[in-house]
Amino acid sequence: MDKEEILIESQATYRRSMTESVQGRLTLTKKELVFTPSANSSCQEIGFKLEDIVGVEKLGIISSKGIYITRKGGKKERYKLENAKEWIHAIETARREHEKELREATERTGGRRITKEIEVIHEKTRIRCTYCGALIPPDLTQCPNCGAPVRRG
Ligand SMILES: [Zn+2]
CA of 115 to the centre of ligand 1 (A): 26
pLDDT of residue 90: 95
Q: Is 133 part of any domain?
A: no
Q: Residue 107 above 80 pLDDT?
A: no
Is the model more confident about 118 or about 142?
Answer: 142
**Residue 153 forms part of a structural domain:** no
In Å, what is the CA distance from 102 to each residue of 2, 29, 48, 108, 115? Answer: 19, 15, 16, 10, 20
Look at residue 12 and tell me if it is in a domain: yes
Question: pLDDT tens-digit profile of 34-64?
Answer: 999 998 778 888 898 998 999 999 887 766 6
More confident residue, 120 or 46: 46
Domain that includes residue 80, residue range: 3-108
* CA distances, 68 to each of 23, 55, 92, 98 (Å): 16, 8, 13, 20
- Three-state DSSP at 95 gives helix
Q: Is residue 146 assigned to a domain?
A: no
Total domains, the chain = 1
Instruction: Compute, in angstroms, the gap from residue 117 CA to the centroid of ligand 1.
Output: 25
Q: Is the pLDDT of residue 110 over 80?
A: no
The enclosing H or E element of 31 equals none
Q: What is the CATH number of the domain that holds 7?
A: 2.30.29.30
Instruction: Tell which wins on pLDDT, 146 or 43.
Output: 146
Confidence band for 122, pLDDT divided at 50, 70 and 90: low
**Residue 99 falls within a domain, yes or no?**
yes
Residue 114 Cα to ligand 1 midpoint, Å, equals 29
Query: Residue 88 domain-assigned?
Result: yes
**Span from the CA of 141 to the centroid of ligand 1 (angstroms):** 11
23 pLDDT above the threshold of 70: yes
> Who's near 81: CB < 8 A, 6+ residues apart?
10, 11, 12, 13, 26, 66, 67, 87
